[in-house]
Amino acid sequence: MAIPFTPWPDEFARRYREKGYWLDRPLTDIIENQCENPSVALVDGARSFSYTQLDQLSSNLAASLLDRGVKPGDTALVHLGNNAEFFITFFALLKIGVVPVNALFSHQRNEVDAYAVQISPTLLIADQQHSLYQNAEAVDHFVTRHASIRTVLLLGTQGSQSLTAAIEQPAGGTELVPGPADQVAFFQLSGGSTGTPKLIPRTHNDYYYSIRRSNEVCGFSAQTRYLCALPAAHNYSMSSPGTLGVFLAGGCVVLASDPDATLCFPLIEQHQINVTALVPPAASLWLQAISEWGSNQQLASLRLLQVGGARLSPALAARIPAEMGCQLQQVFGMAEGLVNYTRLDDSPERIIHTQGKPMCPDDEVWVADENNNPLPTGQVGRLMTRGPYTFRGYFNSPEHNASAFDQNGFYCSGDLIAIDEAGYITVQGREKDQINRGGEKIAAEEIENLLQRHESVVHAGLVSIEDPLLGEKSCAYLVTSAPLRAVDIRRFLRSLGVADYKLPDRVVCVDALPLTAVGKVDKKALRRWMAERDAT
């Protein structure tokens, strides 16, 4: 059975096909078109995989999953880190039309449970190095909570549940049939601003276009050697143009577990990396490393550094070409679709001061005031967008969709932007109730709801505070019935299985918080109140 999603209206689908954006080809093309390419597609530590091997190993796993009773149209929960198995699994699932959610490795029980509840997966593929699956008992707990799971494969285990064994077992002649190109290929994760993390259905057609067009804009080719140091499952490192862009172009992906300079600089030198993607804090730490070590020599092969995911200050942007000796490209994207790039031939001024322009001529982007009326060029307001790779609705979320889209199908991303005469966007702020902690997104409401579950918490409001490195950190304002310390709060949230990056960086207990008429914390008033307090 196909996964339900909000389709593009027929007239749009027709236009996107006519213009060649939608090819009606599955994402499996990316790897299958290169099945005879002997060059190295992927490097993971001491292991390297040719295109032929990547294709073969993913077919092996696909066949093994069918043998185990996994069926086309099933959903899967995948929880792997930055390793080759992540990609082998991704392509294996695509090859048999199984639709995964790829949780980030930093996610914990709270997040993964929320995803599993929404998709009722029949399949779990996870890494035993993650504490959620570190032993049989932990896995049992997980499977008991999610009764839909019938098949479990684990990386790092032996025996019948071994992912490695399933990958190595030759496929034989099993026929593998991917899902239809106009249907959901997999779910992306929303940064979120609501109580439950939302899922974004991405179709083969729309995602494939996003990758193809990104490759054109960013000049990815068979010569591209890309370091993937951000989480492999993130939309940015997967599709802008990311690892999938590299595979499509026939280049080489080198994996790093994180963007730490001591890890990445030697990898760049060793593998002659010419492009990579970072979030602003990581770029800042790379600059710091260069100045401390007194040399950027290890980065000599690097031609292009993409920076996105959070606001990049012009001051930091200007330092990148000067001190790293490579070109900068700003990327302003979202897992929901729309991606903006500064162009490789843009002036330094534009690259330093703007977040680029939409990549597709049929990306419709306009700026709305609070009454949803269009604002003139240059004025700051809400980003509204629709286009051939921007989704039309969160998975199973009719209520939220009613407010996230206008009546013409334009998605309101919650970003406050201005667009200049040349169509270039600058991100000016945010309206959504989210904290962008150096690229990692925290939905305030999700954490507030969890804080509220503490017996001594009467009211809770989570807001962002400025941070010199991360840009933003989170601060929980609490009204409590008994004294509470930050450590107590953090321990409590951890016990609920909340990912580390979502734990409040600061906790401030106050006598009272501004409330709305229905007794919820009034976030707008709270932010005003904080600003006034900071000003005095």
What does the binding site for ligand J2J look like in residue numbers (CB under 6 A)? 191, 235-236, 239-240, 308-311, 330-335, 339, 355, 413, 415, 427, 430, 436, 441
Shortest Å distance, C-beta 235 to ligand J2J: 3
Structure tokens at 57: 């190993």
Residue whose CB is less far from ligand J2J, 439 or 461 = 439
Shortest Å distance, C-beta 437 to ligand J2J: 11
44-51, Cβ contacts within 8 angstroms, sequence gap of 24 or more: 44/82, 44/83, 44/84, 44/255, 45/255, 47/84, 49/84, 51/247, 51/250
Residue whose CB is less far from ligand J2J, 26 or 191 = 191
Alpha helices in 414-506, H assignment, sequence order: 444-451, 486-495
CA 103, CA 472: separation in Å to the nearest integer? Answer: 23
Residue whose CB is less far from ligand J2J, 98 or 334 = 334
Residue whose CB is less far from ligand J2J, 6 or 52 = 6
Sequence-ordered list of residues with C-beta below 8 angstroms from that of 323, at least 6 positions apart, any chain: 287, 290, 291, 296
Shortest Å distance, C-beta 258 to ligand J2J: 17
Residue whose CB is less far from ligand J2J, 5 or 492 = 5
Shortest Å distance, C-beta 254 to ligand J2J: 19
Residue whose CB is less far from ligand J2J, 107 or 430 = 430
Residue whose CB is less far from ligand J2J, 74 or 346 = 346
Q: Scan for tokens 């790779």, then name that residue.
A: 389
For residue 340, what are the β-bridge partners?
Answer: 332, 358
Burial of 402 (0-12, 13-18, 19+ CB in 10 A): exposed
Shortest Å distance, C-beta 87 to ligand J2J: 17
Angle at 260 between CA 257 and CA 266, to 5 degrees: 85
Q: Count CB atoms within 10 A of the CB of residue 368.
A: 16
Residue whose CB is less far from ligand J2J, 252 or 335 = 335
Shortest Å distance, C-beta 163 to ligand J2J: 27
Shortest Å distance, C-beta 332 to ligand J2J: 4
For residue 467, what are the β-bridge partners?
Answer: 471
CA 31, CA 244: separation in Å to the nearest integer? Answer: 9
Residue whose CB is less far from ligand J2J, 69 or 314 = 314
Residue whose CB is less far from ligand J2J, 236 or 265 = 236
Sequence-ordered list of residues with C-beta below 8 angstroms from that of 266, at least 6 positions apart, any chain: 298
Alpha helices in 413-468, H assignment, sequence order: 444-451
- Nearest to ligand J2J by Cβ — which residue? 333
Backbone angles phi, psi at 37, to 5 degrees: -80, 115
Burial of 497 (0-12, 13-18, 19+ CB in 10 A): middle
CA 42, CA 49: separation in Å to the nearest integer? Answer: 5
CA 76, CA 148: separation in Å to the nearest integer? Answer: 10
Backbone angles phi, psi at 400, to 5 degrees: -65, -40
* 306, 291 contact by CB (below 8 A): no
Query: What DSSP state is assigned to residue 299?
Result: G
* 124, 76 contact by CB (below 8 A): yes
Shortest Å distance, C-beta 485 to ligand J2J: 31
Pairing of strands 75-79, 123-127: parallel
Shortest Å distance, C-beta 438 to ligand J2J: 11
Shortest Å distance, C-beta 121 to ligand J2J: 22
Pairing of strands 364-368, 381-386: antiparallel
Could you tell me the maximum CA-CA distance found in the chain, to the nearest angstrom?
73
Pairing of strands 327-334, 304-308: parallel
Residue whose CB is less far from ligand J2J, 97 or 471 = 471
Shortest Å distance, C-beta 246 to ligand J2J: 14
Shortest Å distance, C-beta 359 to ligand J2J: 10
Length of the chain: 536
Residue whose CB is less far from ligand J2J, 269 or 431 = 431
